[in-house]
Amino acid sequence: MPTTLRNEAAIAGIGQTKYSKNSGVSELSLATEAVRAAILDAGLQPSDVDGLVTFTMDSSDEVEVARNVGIGEMTMFSQINYGGGAAVGLVHQAVMAVATGSAKNVVVYRALNGRSGQRMGQGVSGQIITSDLIHWSWYMPFGLLTPASWIALQAQLYMHQYGATSEHLAHVAITQRAHAQNNPNAAMCGRPMTMDDYMASRLICEPLRLFDCCQEDDGGCALLITSPERAKDGPHPPAIIRGVTQASFTGQEQMTSFYRPDLASLPEMELAAKIVYEQAGLGPDDIDATCFYDAFTPEVLMQLEAFGFCGRGEAKDFVTEDSLSVNGRLPNNTHGGLLSEAYIHGVNNIAEGARLIRGSSPNQPAKVDHVLVTSGVGVPTGALILGKP
Amino acid sequence: MNEEQKKAFEAELRAYVGKAIGPPVVARDPVNLPMIRQWCDAMGETHPAYSDEGAGETLHGQVVAPPTMLQAWIMEGWAMHEGYDEPRDEQHRLHKLLTEAGYTGVLGTNTEEHYDRYLKLGDVVTAVTTIDEISEEKATGAGIGYFVTTRTVFEDQEGESLGWMSFRVLKFKPPAGQQAAASGDEAAISTAPTRMKPPAGHDNAWWWQKIADEDVLPIQRCADCQKLRHPPRPMCDACGSQRFDSVAASGRGTVHTFTVIHYPQVPGYDYPLVSIIVDLEEGERMVSTLVDCKPEDCRIGLPVAVVIHEDEDGFKIPFFRPAG
């Protein structure tokens, strides 16, 4: 039995649907398409798959997907909570299963009609009183109804405390928009953005402007995770998982951890950083590219600090359009990210991490040995590091 | 309204009784066959007296109009719908007076008609409507309000009476929460603009109830180790006790951080909405709304004081305003 998850599993297959504003098909249809594509991309057949993992927020249950895709016997299936915070958690589940022999080939997936179907931030209501419903009730009556409003409260304080400005946030958005121009599956492909465009975008929840916020999209994305040995036989170079963890911190709430001493930091991300660096035996200097969860631009600044790429409050000096671009110190979200590729709840950011290791990113930097990928910010979350075989 | 204001208001209402709502209304068209035919088609009326094919055989010997069409001859069409905001006649003015006093709802209750003779092709109808009666204030199933009765008298081109009609409406105060529906504004009905209410569970209902009953801002306190905690939850994370009471906060605090919400604009809230996290004097933090302050004047560190706000439907919620 392994004592660490280091190098115990690899991403061997990537599957995705077209990302759009109106898929015209069911979420289950998107899920099955992405899952099947991931299996075939790994050079496997549906009957080889014995584990499935998705989000609790996903509407396509594991057995529904299995029946459609032709997956038969399964020995492991689970769902991870907390919205975008789940993305890395899916991989964590799969790696634990593969490392312990609970399953051999696990597909993790997320598929949603995020624009044409149920949109985010429409408020929470319901008849059954759960702890989650009570949690939201401390915010909904006051009109704090959307992810943008919750993150804006933290961003305001962060910017006030460290002197970050809209221009600093703009660098994140503009760089990722530029990346999307080379990614035909990005929603923002063909729509480049200048600083003037960014500054002209309307205020959503101050200090957040429209272009500080990610999009809403329809689409599905899936990853096949297996052992490094089996992955070697596949058609693509595997992305070895050097380290992976979930992370929740003292006083954690879902999006509203407003009661901790320092709201201008991300302690759950600092916890994730500590664990994945330790597992991988690596540090920030070893990371060549990142796929930081980017539902909102300030999250990227705060993660740069949490993962040690710069000191506390120094992200504003670290980020320029150059530093985060293909030839910069830390190419970030080279596919466009949630901001400019699509909002597939962060699973598409993990897929890009695997492409960067394969060498097949639409914006492939010269040297990529290690990629850091994170999931949701402001929620119980996680991080992983991918490396070459 | 106090008693004196009420008296003055009712006197103003009474002054309308007996008034004609405006000059006589003359039919836009004389009584004619096409309108009769269409009305009969719409109603499913097939009596030969109203048709040019069979009327000759009836006792009238010619086409006559159905008596119940009487009001139809003087209807103004779509224009009737307008004028309640900028009154064009005394009836509109009366309705506006009631609306502005809070009797925003309107409900047609009953009508009575009397006919003196059949109308023949070519007759020209003229109508005069007066405000006939305004009731005492009544408590009804729909809400508290006044019944207003108008009486319309119809005459022909010779000044001979054709009949009359009385029409009664209830102008009422809709119960809280039904304002939009009762206003008759369809857009308002579909959006039902009220604040999202917290569900009432074991772990939170007491907090909202205390605000409603005592007009205080409660902070939950562990009944064993006395540690304060907000938002309320069932167990003390310091000592594990599930026994709690609460203290009334001083209501003083400072803005820890804030956001000004512009989008999306959800019915039931005022925008731009200034949302704040407050550091309470007692050491706990809470999320709330800043009121009585321009968005551009909100800042981190702003001293604030609690104000228990009451929505129109009676829901109470603690807001803050700049202190001092």
The pLDDT value recorded for residue B159 is: 93
Tell me if chain B has a CB within 8 Å of the CB of A152.
yes
Cβ–Cβ contact A142 with B under 8 A: yes
The one-letter amino acid at B199: P
> Of A125, A145, A153, which has the smallest distance from its Cβ to B258's Cβ?
A153
Give the Cα separation of B257 and A155 in Å (integer): 9
Whole-number pLDDT of residue A1 = 67
Mean pLDDT of chain B: 89
What strands lie across the sheet with A51-55, from one edge to the other? A76-80, A51-55, A106-113, A218-226, A10-16, A239-247, A381-387, A370-374, A289-291
A203 touches chain B (CB under 8 A): yes
Q: What is the mean pLDDT of residues B31-35?
A: 95
Is residue A53 a part of any domain in this protein?
yes
Cβ-based contacts under 8 A for chains A and B: 103
Q: What is the DSSP string of A253-318?
A: -SS--TTSS-TTS-HHHHHHHHHHHHHHT--GGG--EEE---SBHHHHHHHHHHTTSS-TT-HHHH
Q: What is the pLDDT of residues A234-260, one digit of tens each?
A: 999 999 999 999 999 999 999 999 999
Query: Would A328 be classed as within a structural domain?
Result: yes
**Cβ atoms < 10 Å from Cβ of A360:** 13
d(CA B2, CA A111): 61
Inform me whether the C-beta atom of residue B218 falls under 8 Å from chain A C-beta atoms.
no
**B4 membership: H or E segment, kind and range:** helix B3-14
With CB atoms and an 8 Å threshold, state whether B260 touches A206: yes
Contact status of B223 with chain A (Cβ, < 8 Å): no
Considering only the beta carbons, identify the residue of B195, B203, B284 that sits closest to A141: B195
Subunit contact A203:B262, Cβ cutoff 8 A: yes
Q: What is the pLDDT of residues B243-300, one digit of tens each?
A: 999 999 999 999 999 999 999 998 889 999 999 999 999 999 999 999 999 999 999 9
Q: Would you name the residues of A annotated as active-site residues? A: 293, 343
A131 located within any domain: no
pLDDT at position A280 is 98
The CA distance from A47 to the nearest CA of chain B, in Å, is: 46
Mean pLDDT of B65-70: 94
How many percent of chain A have pLDDT more than 90?
92
Q: How far apart are CA A181 and CA A170, in angstroms?
A: 17
- Whole-angstrom distance, CA of residue A13 vs CA of residue A49: 12
User: Would you call B259 and A121 a contact, using CB atoms and an 8 Å cutoff?
Assistant: no
Contacts of B69 (CB under 8 A, 6+ apart): B35, B36, B39, B119
A261 touches chain B (CB under 8 A): no
Collapsed DSSP state (helix, strand, coil) of residue A241: strand
Whether B58 has its CB under 8 Å from any CB of chain A: the answer is no
Q: What is residue A264's predicted lDDT score, i.e. its pLDDT?
A: 96
Contacts of A144 in chain B (CB under 8 A): 261, 275, 287
Question: Hey, is the C-beta of A164 within 8 angstroms of any chain B C-beta?
Answer: no
Alpha-carbon distance A316 to A311, whole Å?
10
Q: Do B199 and A203 touch (CB under 8 A)?
A: no
Report the distance separating Cα A156 and Cα A165, nearest Å: 10
Token pair of B80 as six digits: 């009737």
The shortest C-alpha distance from B111 to chain A (Å) reads: 43
| B295 cis-preceded (ω within 30 degrees of 0) | no
Nearest to B261 among A134, A205, A259 (CB): A205
The beta-carbon neighbor of A160 closest among B231, B288, B300 is B300
B316–A contact, CB cutoff 8 A: no
pLDDT, tens digit, for every residue of A159-210? 999 999 999 999 999 999 999 999 999 999 999 999 999 999 999 999 999 9
Q: Is B257 on the interface with A (CB under 8 A)?
A: yes
Strand, coil or helix: what is B148?
strand
Q: Reply yes or no: is the peptide bond before residue B174 cis, omega within 30 of 0.
A: no
Cβ separation B262–A258 shorter than 8 A? no
A309 assigned to some structural domain: yes
| Average pLDDT rounded to a whole number, residues A101-114 | 96
> What fold, for B3-188?
Thiol Ester Dehydrase; Chain A (3.10.129)
Burial class (CB in 10 A: 0-12, 13-18, 19+), B60: middle
The pLDDT of residue A123 is 55
Burial class for A353, CB neighbours closer than 10 Å (0-12, 13-18, 19+): buried
Contact A139 B288 (CB under 8 A): no
- Counted domains in chain A: 1
pLDDT of A37 > 60? The answer is yes
CB contact under 8 A, B195 and A258: no
pLDDT at B192: 52
ipTM for this prediction: 0.87
Q: Which of A137, A260, A263 is the best mutation test for B, with the most CBs of B within 10 A?
A: A137
Mean pLDDT within A40-59: 97
CATH number of the domain where residue A381 is located:
3.40.47.10
Q: What's the pLDDT tens digit per position in B157-192? A: 999 999 999 999 999 887 654 444 444 444 444 445
Take residue A304 and report the two structure tokens written for it: 């740069």
Check CB contact under 8 Å for A156 and B258. Answer: yes
Structural domain span for residue A278? 10-117+215-387
- pLDDT score of A119 more than 90: no
The pTM of this model reads 0.73
- Would you list the domain boundaries of chain B? 3-188, 205-322
Q: What angle do CA B157, B158, B164 make, to 5 degrees?
A: 75
* A137, A145, A256 member nearest B199 (Cβ): A137
- Is A138 at the interface with chain B, CB within 8 A? yes
Q: Which residue of A has its CA nearest to B309?
A: A142
Nearest Cα of chain A lies from the Cα of B278 at a distance, in angstroms, of: 10
Contacts of A138 in chain B (CB under 8 A): 198, 204, 231, 286-287
Which of A218-232, A293-307, B1-15, B35-49 shows the lowest per-residue confidence on average (mean pLDDT)?
B1-15
Instruction: Kindly tell me if the per-residue pLDDT of B85 is higher than 90.
Output: no
Lowest mean pLDDT among A212-221, A278-287, A360-369, B83-92: B83-92
Which whole number is the average pLDDT over A262-266?
96
The pLDDT of residue B184: 46
CB contact under 8 A, A149 and B300: no
Determine the Cα–Cα distance for residues A142 and B309; give it in Å rounded to an integer: 11
Task: Residue A318: name the closest of A330, A327, A307 by CA.
Answer: A330
Nearest CA-CA distance, residue A23 and chain B, Å: 24
pLDDT given at position B194: 84
Q: For Cα atoms B90, B91, B96, give the angle at the middle one, nearest 5 degrees.
A: 95
